[in-house]
Amino acid sequence: RASQKAIPLSQSGVPKHRRFSFYDQVHTTGMDIKQALNATAVITIGKDMTFRDYAQGAFRMRGIGQGQRLHAFVIPEVEKLVCDQLIRAKIQCAARPPDPVDAKSGKPVEFKAIPAKNPRQLLVHVSAWLVVNSMRIEKIMFNMLCEQNIRNVWRKLCFKLLISDHKKVGTSEGKGHVEDAVDVFRERLDHSVEASVPIVKRFHTKLVELADLREQWLKDADRKATVERVLSYVASAEKKSKGADKSLDTPAAQKRAFDAEQQQEQEQEQEQEQEQEQEKEQEQMPVPEEQIFVKKKYNIKRQEIHSWPLHLLAEDIKDEKGRPSHPEFYPLSTFK
């Protein structure tokens, strides 16, 4: 323990009942560490977890149901996400209060985690929410793939153009199509903040606007057909998710977008306040006093200028006996 060196588990001498194993989300797949027969594990539920992550983490305990136990830890924020998803499916949550509004004041009650009366039902609800999360991640990956496929249509053309005309970049001949080809590979960040509540656009609409922006590279019939085919995939996928499409234009969705914008502004204000406090602290810090050095008398007699004729550079530095012919020049091996 004092050396803090990593050694093989077989050489550690730590018995199974005294082991503490920690798995992060990345290293849960394929890890097999033997635990005690009556070991108890804890699995934490994160907001971005999927059912596969949950299952991989749970099955690190090979003896579940045969002496080994597993506790699921759910923080109130994640529990609220689970309950919100269940309410959309018209299922009563096992942990959330049935009436989130105060009867006297009429104001929303702040959500607080309440121990579930039926833990088994809560585990079922968590598993259902993780499955929904898996679907959401798959949808995001599908959207990213479709966007990349559309971008690749004109990026391939621009890449071939840059390979053939790369020497024209930065010259007068390169102005125009070559600079436009370089601009295709740039992804500029837009930091502008809208003054009103942003209108949520469908993903299909965003892709159509993206294709219209690069219309100059889509004059070929094959490229247009490829873009139309990808857009048809996205359109058919949006038609299948009827409930998700209808919820985009609801007042609740607009309220969530407005709340997100307000939260972002509050975070920016907090960062500015922290920066101002740091600047004030730096101003209040004592300035170190300059050190005053006492002037002393130094011997500068040896710093006289010794001149030597320029023609000595062309002569040999050693005489016939091998001694230095001129004191100004001597071999590097004798340098001190």
Q: What is the pLDDT of residue 248?
A: 46
pTM above 0.85, yes or no: no
3-state SS track over 92-106 = CCCCCCCCCECCCCC
Provide the sign of the torsion angle of the four alpha carbons 132, 136, 138, 139, taken in this order. positive
The total number of structural domains that make up the chain? 2
Query: What is the DSSP code (8-state) at residue 215?
Result: G
Of 264, 290, 310, which marks where a domain is finished?
Answer: 264
Instruction: Supply the mean pLDDT for the chain.
Output: 78
Asked if pLDDT for residue 174 goes beyond 60, the answer is yes
Of 264, 284, 313, which marks where a domain is finished?
Answer: 264
Q: Is 331 helix (H, G, I), strand (E, B) or coil?
A: coil
pLDDT (mean) for 98-125? 63
Residue 287 lies in a domain: no
Residue 270 lies in a domain: no
Residue 306 lies in a domain: no
Q: Are residues 90 and 157 in the same domain?
A: no
CA distance to 92, 105, 117, 247, 254, per residue, from 97 (Å): 9, 17, 12, 24, 25
Q: Name the residue with higher pLDDT: 166 or 202.
A: 202
Residue 123 lies in a domain: no
- Tell me the per-residue pLDDT of 245-294, one tens digit each, with 9 for 90 and over: 455 445 555 555 556 556 666 766 777 777 777 777 776 666 666 767 67
Q: Are residues 96 and 152 in the same domain?
A: no
Provide the sign of the torsion angle of the four alpha carbons 212, 214, 215, 221, taken in this order. negative
Q: Are residues 91 and 139 in the same domain?
A: no
Residues forming a β-bridge with 42:
71
Q: Are residues 86 and 19 in the same domain?
A: yes
pLDDT (mean) for 183-209? 84
Q: What are phi and psi of 220, to 5 degrees?
A: -75, 145
Q: Are residues 77 and 174 in the same domain?
A: no
What is the rounded CA–CA span in Å between residue 196 and residue 109?
Answer: 28
Asked if pLDDT for residue 70 goes beyond 50, the answer is yes
Of 209, 233, 264, which marks where a domain is finished?
Answer: 264
Are residues 157 and 218 in contact, defined by beta-carbon separation less than 8 angstroms?
no
The per-residue DSSP string of 154-182 comes to HHHHHHHHHHHSGGGTTSSTTTTHHHHHH
Domain span holding position 220: 135-186+201-264
Are residues 99 and 47 in contact, defined by beta-carbon separation less than 8 angstroms?
no
